[in-house]
Structure 1
Amino acid sequence: MKLGIVGSGMIVQEFLPSLVQLEGLEIVGIQGTKKSIGKVEEICVKYSIPKFTDDFNKLCEFGIDAVYIAVPNFLHFEYCKKVLEKGLNVIVEKPMTTNYRQAKELSDLAKEKKLFLFEAITTLYFENYKKIKDWIEKIGDVKLVQSQYSQYSSRYDAFKRGEILPVFDPEKAGGALMDLGLYNLHYVLGLFGKPENVKYYANIERNIDTSGVLMIEYKNFNAMCVCAKDSEGERIGIIQGSKGKIVSEEAPGLVGKVTLKMYDGTTESFDDGFSKDRVVPEFKTFISAVNENDLEFCYKQLEKSLLVSEVQTKARLEAGIKFPQD
């Protein structure tokens, strides 16, 4: 798969050391802004990436067949749509879009053009997470679920001083739910499907949620999802059942070592070891799907992203958090 990248921020710089080593992937070029083009050139030299530009149309002429979009949330829809309209495949950082309406439009466009559209959400692709799915039936009737992801943001101090960076900017679709909360949503909805109801209890500062608790209601159990960018807390997942429980030792974006603890005293643990190299499992999957033209798998994953977008949009709007794109 020949890949172009839009963006040169923290996530791109974190992932590139692993991406350039992946078999079946060739990173052809990176597009930055006019302001960041010097940094983009440095990145390309460092990782032997042959081309760079500040022009999106030029990036698409580099002989690529897919684009990885890693720009602020509010730009995801615009770039995804432009890439699909050019007949190229898309891998977009989570959240796929700002709201469900945008996500549905992109999904319809990708299917119409028979193109790939993947949301880059690490959770779903860890073998640890898949092991949780295998174990669910063993713990009997599910009673309670917890998914917690709190991480004091390096940008929160600036926010408190009055400097509004994209991650805390409602104009740019920021906030805790749209960032860490997306991992919680994928963790829970990926295991249990569409809920009966959802409600977000948000801590709101200057019209944006800096933290909150998302309650997800199913017919016979509830899930509590904690996300915070203004404080630190546990990063863990727990699924409690009538016969046992499953514990994830890391935040849902990493999953980490998972342990099945039965009430009869038996235990079983599993760890795929990818928590510290989280981009590898998802991109290996994307590369394989594109190279094998497995659109059926892609659209199955896309339905999961649409469900998360639908639930996120409902919870956010009902909590009074509105974006210009809504």
Structure 2
Amino acid sequence: MADKNKNSNNFNIPVFAIAPMMDWTDRHCRFFHRQISRQALLYTEMVTAPALVRGGAVHLLDHSREEHPVALQLGGSDPSELAEAARMGAEAGYDEINLNVGCPSDRVQSGTFGAVLMKTPALVADCVAAMKAVVAVPVTVKCRIGVDDQDPETVLPDFIQRIADAGCDYLIIHARKAWLQGLSPKENRDIPPLDYELVFRMAARFPDMPMSINGGIETLDAAEALIARGLHGAMIGRAAYHRPWDILSEVDARLFGVQPICRSREDVIDAMRPYIEMHLDEGGKLHQITRHMLGLFAGQPGARTWRRVLSEKANRPGAGVALLDEALEQMRQPDAMTG
């Protein structure tokens, strides 16, 4: 069963993924999530191809072997530059290279990549083909159903056909439009209505293109139900970040038939200790890791105390792993358990 840990290369089994999220899914977040699920496919924050190729920011590719399976998400619109960035990512050991065609932020638009690329499907196809030509790992795309006044029923099939012809291995569809003018990136995550049925129609129309769905999925039950309707996978974003144990702790058993290594939240904390100590020994700061752990006890008695202790004290000089014990002790006090 251990071979399933490379599920990013085998789209015949369910793909359960944590979405790439700017400022959130850094290497410390991914290591933390990996302690809860060994099978979930993890994604980097978006890394721009110009930063890698022209800026020499190779540190953005840093990750640990324990994170696998892990995908590198790239942003860009120049086929040759994306090809070079993809090659760098594959050589760094990533299991998948993903092209961002969904981010609606102003900064991304000004760089002519992200969701604005939905308007130029031929260019996206050229980018995919260029990346496929230089790497052996899967090349995938994450997109919206359309942007602005586009008719998704018209533009999405054309988009899918073009990237399929270019060799795209897997498609993740955020089942909302992106409004490039008038809505903020945050509003674009919530305001445009979800259209799951359109994604199901696309999956039926393109049976040879494995598809995963993203957007508005709040629970593992919901993800399973979507997969059960014929999709190859599901991707959860902010719900998994804010409630990591609720979302991830049953993924391995329910979707992959294997038992998780950490059986409790406390097991996860213990698994994080050596990693935190190594990070501190290398000159890192405790809060760089613990900021991702604030939601570990979400919904549990004492969760507010856990968050407060880590938020208030992890930034202090000399803060170390002992703070985890302090937070655990304080959250178990009777007043914290009922507060």
TM-score, normalization by structure 2: 0.29
**Superposition TM-score, scaled by structure 1 size:** 0.30
Structure whose residues are more often helix by fraction: 2
Considering fraction of residues, name the structure with more strand.
1
